[in-house]
Amino acid sequence: MYRHSVRRQFATASVLREWHQIPLAPPDKILGITEAFKEDKNPNKINLGVGAYRDNTGKPIIFPAVKKAEKKLYDNEKEKEYTAITGSKNFQDIVKNFIFNNSNKDPNGKKLIDEGRIVTAQTISGTGSLRVIADFIARFYNSKKIYVPKPTWANHVAVFTDAGLQPEYYAYYDTSKNDLDFANLKSSLQKADDGSVVLLHACCHNPTGMDLTGDQWEQVLEIIQQKKLFPLIDMAYQGFASGSPYEDISLIRRMTELAVENKIPTFALCQSFAKNMGLYGERTGSISIITESADQSKAIESQLKKLIRPIYSSPPIHGSKIVETIFNEGLLDEWLADLDKVVGRLNTIRQKLYDNLDKSNYNWDHLLKQRGMFVYTGLNPEQMKRLRDEFSVYATDDGRFSISGINDANVEYLADAINQVIKK
């Protein structure tokens, strides 16, 4: 009895010593910016760090179509039961039809759906879908190496590394020219290990906002076929390029065509409704895996369930029910109009920022080529520090601005601050 007590005390003391040795983790870069912004007393301060939409008064919004969907749920919802491990069948079908069948416009997508070649699971937004597919690849794919664009969303590398994958960069953006580095992009992909995984941004590349043209995508997809790479597509900003979700998925339409032709027979897509429906905190997204056969789909779906069950058991239901209500109860057109209005404001304020910038010693034309929620300014860390210290403008050190934080009330102040820090 005494010996057991001593052992327990010794074990407890050892554990406590282990806890005391845990180092302090560095703060998240984006969240750290928000905290510093909150503490700043300057009435002209601007937060350009967080990628969440703000209206022209600087306030967050709820899409009107989303409010109507929630009202319908409030009036008619009868239960809050758990959903299935991979989410509701209704949600899965909506995602498949909306993205791959282009809302009944794409015969190739319809063929894949009808043949049972698409496995879709609801996940915890975009980050959750990325982590699920990363874990899945680490367990079942024959390569652990994943090539990501340089630069890419900072959390990509963290998610893939924590899942046991081995991220490496391929060339994407030339900071000296503020433009796509397409020649080196192709060259670096051609040097990738055969059969490895490659991460592609479907549209509104984060952080640069610089997307490939249709012809450039064709060249990249040709390399993917030659090298037998497995494409993992991240689509967090569908609709934010053009204002139309349908126009923004040209890459997906081409991928479904190649899948039907068995030229790229299998790929994966991570998708989120966080941005294009404003469902940030609802954490509503999906993962879809295009397979080579219905039998393969059954095996993959079973392993997805086995993987998800010990992580979070099943996804939250409120956000997915909002999506289902918008698509199934007459709110789709209103949501599309809401989204187009949001993107229209971003494009307008992007133009206003450009118009107010001094172009005598710096070329700002790249701002108008970029698409989506961000502008990748090309400002260096020293200039970003000056913006923060002297003008209370908060953004990441790589010069990425969340354009939704800019509005009619602060665009001239921001442009003047930028003009001052780039003066030679």
The closest alpha carbon to 251, from 284, 286, 289, 215, belongs to: 215
Residue 73 three-state SS = helix
- Whether 217 is a known active-site residue: answer no
Q: Which amino acid is at 263?
A: K
Query: Looking at this protein, which amino acid is placed at residue 249?
Result: I
Strand partners, 170: 149
Q: Count CB atoms within 10 A of the CB of residue 242.
A: 17
Give CA–CA dist 210/375, Å, rounded. Answer: 9
Check if 275 is active-site. yes
Rounded Cα gap, residues 245 and 240, in angstroms = 8
| Run of H or E including 224 | helix 214-227
What b/e readout covers 309-345, taking b as 16+ CB neighbours within 10 angstroms?
eeeeebbbbebbbbbbbbbeeebeebbbebbeebbeb
Active site residue 321: no
* Catalytic residue (one of 106, 181, 234, 398): 234
Length of the chain: 424
351 and 368 Cβ atoms separated by less than 8 Å = yes
N- to C-terminal Cα separation, the chain: 78
SS3 of 278, please? coil
Residue written as tokens 């990249």? 220
Nearest of 266, 287, 279, 318 to residue 81 by alpha carbon: 318
Which of 96, 106, 153, 364 is labelled catalytic? Answer: 153
Numbers of helices and strands, H then E, in the chain = 16, 13
Separation between Cα atoms, residue 263 and residue 5, nearest integer Å: 65
Catalytic residue among 45, 275, 364, 398: 275
Structure tokens at 348: 């307008």
Residues marked as catalytic: 153, 234, 275
